[in-house]
Structure 1
Amino acid sequence: MAAKLHHPAIVQTWDYALLEERYLAIVMELLEGQPLNRSVTPATLDARRLLELLSPIFDGLHYLHERGITHRDVKPQNIFLTHRHGANLIDFGLARDEVHDPLTRTGVVMGTLRSLAPEQLTAKRVAPVADQYSLGLVIYEFLTGESAFELKQTQMAGRSEPVLAVASSPSVGEAFSVALARMYDPSPDKRYSDLLAARAALLEALG
């Protein structure tokens, strides 16, 4: 599947090979840079700069979603900041074509727990809005410096601190905080229709 994807914000997979009839080798584009978690210290960028940095990821995920593909593991380690081409989405080991191969095996949790949308823990079918939730957590974490895992615990307790935490960041206001919180709303139906709509709402909230 990954070899069929061609987008500037998605690492290119060129070929596959079986070595010694035992090991699968993947030939991929060489990226020069570092993942987001090694390149940027949380709470050091203002909201506008962070959105500019992650804008290609919005585009890359939208490209996947238009083709019925959900990445399923959007997290700082899988957002690679290159020296020449900006942010790239990497690691498609858990990506799933929701049109042709939609079901998750019963009882198997796929992805990184701290980044998973709630429905990834329970649903047999996971829609692209799960990636929106995870990207929203990335933005939250890198704006506030607060742990995404703690945010999820707060959500489970039904408290409103996540919105307040973002609002306390000096580069944003309440409008942006509310717009961002919609990305990681626990209910998939309450999130944005797609990531382009999400990005537009965030930029509009910044003014």
Structure 2
Amino acid sequence: MRPNDPVEHLIALLAKLPGLGRRSARRAALRMLMEPESRMLPLADAMRAAAAAVKPCSNCGNLDAANPCHICSDNQRDQGLICVVEGVAELWALERAQAHHGAYHVLGGTLSALGGVGPDELAIPRLLTRAAGAREIILALPATVEGASTAHYLAERLESTKVPVTRLAQGVPMGGALDVLDDGTLAAAFKARR
């Protein structure tokens, strides 16, 4: 590898993306470099534009170019039905599965004593404020130890609001992340929540 080689630098940056290893990054870089005008430059422009325009929604935490986001602004959605997710990837997975037609709330992670993530690092105060106007809070958190402890903590904190708190039903495997499940499994788990 030559120092300051732009091709190697491109490959190294692409290899840092989720789902891309060094071989896949090399193939993607080669494809873009072979057709820079039709592949690489439009991608660079789109990435620059997204970096400048996309921000977290001040209401739910989703990433969007509008604030509030397109989901929070949609009059067709049931704003009294709030689905709490760990991150934006899970929100996008539920949207892809068309399993939820209400509002969302992105926590920004799950509680983790080992990882040093406590309640103050998550968007819990905003959730408690939003819960006052809700009919139901759906906890769509991962089926992990951290997800279960976060769900338990939230259920306790939301108890005083008298708003029903539900969780996703079986179908989401233990240790599974929502953003990698197939749409059918995710939709079935969402419909069978308790």
Q: Does the alignment reach a TM-score above 0.5? A: no
Please report the TM-score for the alignment, with normalisation by the length of structure 1: 0.28
Which structure has more RCO (C-alpha within 8 Å, separation ≥ 6)?
1
Please report the TM-score for the alignment, with normalisation by the length of structure 2: 0.29
